[in-house]
Amino acid sequence: MLRVRKLNARKRIALVAHDNKKKDLIEWAEFNKTVLARHELIATGTTGKLLENSLDRPVKALLSGPLGGDQQIGALIASGDLDVLIFFWDPMEAQPHDSDVKALLRVAIAWNVIVANDRATADFILTSPLMSEEYMVNIPDYTSYLNRKI
C-alpha cells in the first residue's frame, strides 16, 4: 500500500548554511522575501538569527548545527514536521560535523523531503507552482527493512 504525506500550501521550510555559505543564503532569502513570507521558516542557530534580522519576520531558531541543530532538523523530518530543506553547504571545506550533515541529508532523502543544496536548485523549488498548493508526497515503505532478520 502506498503511503503519502500531505504538504499544505504553507510549507515548513528549514534554512541551513555553513559559515562560508551564510552570506549566500541570506542574499537568496532577501531576494525571495515575498515568497518566503508565505511559509513557516525554521533555521539552525546563527542562521536563524541572521535570517530573522534580514527578513524582518519570525524564524524559529533551533540550536547551532554542530551543537545539535542538524539533529533537530533531522528529527522534524523523521516526524513528518518539515516539508523543505534548503541547506547551502560548503563543498570546499571539511566541517567538524560532517557526519551530522551526512546524517541530515540521509534522513531527508529517506523520507522524500524536498532538498536544495545550492541557489539554483533553491530557486527552482521556490518558483515551482507546487510551492503554493497542496502536494502529496509518497513515503517510502521501509517495512521489509524494519522486519529484516538481524
Buried b / exposed e along 76-96 (16+ C-beta atoms within 10 A): bbeeeebbbbbbbbeeeeeee
Known binding residues for substrate: 18, 22, 44-47, 64-65, 97
Catalytic, out of 19, 24, 70, 81: 70
What is the Cα–Cα distance from 148 to 79, expressed in whole angstroms?
22
Half-sphere exposure of 141 (CA within 13 A, CB side): 5
Spatial contact of 55 and 65, defined as CB atoms under 8 Å apart: no
Known binding residues: 18, 22, 44-47, 64-65, 97
Note if 70 is an active site residue: yes
Q: Which three cell numbers stand for residue 110?
A: 529517506
Q: What are phi and psi of 89, to 5 degrees?
A: -105, 155
Which residues are identified as catalytic?
A: 70
